[in-house]
Amino acid sequence: MKSTDKAINLIKSFEQLRLNSYLCPAGVWTIGYGHTDGVNQGMLITEKTADAFLKQDIRNAEHCVNQMGVDLTQGQFDALVSFVFNVGVQAFRISTLRRLVMSNPDGPKIADEFRRWVYAANKKLPGLIKRREKEIELYYS
């Protein structure tokens, strides 16, 4: 499956474009639309590079979700791509959320698992709370 504009717009709305590298609330160097791979302090990129990073990062998230081998609705897929984009492939692979989706994509506890992922550096972040609610809404659409 591939992400729709709903997933991409959701990601962009929460990641916000930044052309200078910055430390995110989790203490990770970040640039563009939430890109972290190979980012260092003092980096500067163009909007074109930010878009290329975004496409690459979305492809990585799509690949991770597709590897689950589960039949998903488009909304479920898009929500999971946004989630994986945000928390990372490794974190998702060992998550309870992934296990629940794999056992029953329509399971009632999935929303609760999304809501557990609202912390960065042991602090509950309002932006992550809002993002998870939007992902849940998309997941069940």
Nearest-10 crossing angle of helices 5-15, 47-66: 120
Q: Indicate if 15 belongs to the active site.
A: yes
Nearest-10 crossing angle of helices 47-66, 74-87: 120
Measured distance CA(89)–CA(95) in Å, rounded: 10
Nearest-10 crossing angle of helices 126-139, 74-87: 160
Instruction: Indicate which residue of 15, 62, 113, 135 is catalytic.
Output: 15
DSSP secondary structure letters along 57-75: HHHHHHHHHHTT-----HH
Q: Which of the residues are catalytic? A: 15, 24
